[in-house]
Amino acid sequence: MKHILFYSILACLFASCEKKIDIDPSNGQHVVIIQAYLYNDSTAKVIIAKSTNFLSSTKPPRISNATVVLADNHGHTDTLMYNTVLQRYESPAIKGVVNDIYTLTVALEGQIYSSTSILPYLNAPDSIKVPYRQASGFNSEGYFMNLYANIPNNSNGNDLYFLFKGYANDSLLNAADQIVYADNSAITGQINGLDLGFEYQPGQLAKLYTYSLTKDAYKFYDAASIQLSNDGGFFSTPPANVPSMFSNGAVGLFQCSNLSELTTHVVAIPH
Contact (CB, 8 A) for 210 and 124: yes
Establish if 174 belongs to a structural domain.
Answer: yes
| pLDDT for the residue 61 | 86
The confidence score (pLDDT) of residue 54 equals 55
User: What percent of the chain clears pLDDT 70, i.e. is strictly above it?
Assistant: 83
Confidence of residue 15 (pLDDT cuts 50, 70, 90): very low
Whether residue 45 is found in the same domain as residue 86: yes
CA dihedral 150, 154, 156, 159 (to 10 degrees): 100
Q: Is the pLDDT of residue 13 over 80?
A: no
Q: For residue 51, name the pLDDT band (cuts at 50, 70, 90).
A: confident
Q: pLDDT category, 230, cuts 50, 70, 90?
A: low
Separation between Cα atoms, residue 206 and residue 213, nearest integer Å:
23
Q: Does any domain span residue 4?
A: no
Give pLDDT, residue 262: 98
Domain of residue 153, residue span: 127-232+258-265
Q: Are residues 104 and 152 in the same domain?
A: no
Do 186 and 108 have their domain in common? Answer: no
Are 106 and 159 found together in one domain? no
- Nearest CA to 45 out of 253, 250, 223 is that of 253
The Cα–Cα gap between 218 and 226 comes to 12
Q: How far apart are CA 72 and CA 230, in angstroms?
A: 37
Residue 124: which pLDDT band, with cuts at 50, 70 and 90?
very high
Q: What is the DSSP string of 63-131?
A: --S-EEEEEETTS-EEEPEEETTTTEEEEEEEEP-TT-EEEEEEEETTEEEEEEEE--------EEE--
| Number of folded domains that form the chain | 2
Of 65, 99, 118, the last residue of a domain is 118
Q: How many residues are given for the chain?
A: 271
CATH number of the structural domain spanning residue 50: 2.60.40
**Rounded mean pLDDT, 242-246:** 92
Claim to verify: residue 145 and residue 210 sit in the same structural domain: yes
Are 62 and 89 in a shared domain? yes
Nearest to 63, CA basis, from 250, 264, 208:
250
Return the pLDDT at 4: 27
The reported pTM is 0.83
Judged against a pLDDT cut of 80, whether residue 238 lies above it is answered with no
249 occurs within a structural domain: no
Q: Which of 83, 118, 153 is the last residue of a domain?
A: 118
Domain assignment present for 201: yes
Whether 226 has a pLDDT exceeding 50, the answer reads: yes
Confidence of residue 44 (pLDDT cuts 50, 70, 90): very high
What number is the average pLDDT over the span 44-70? 86
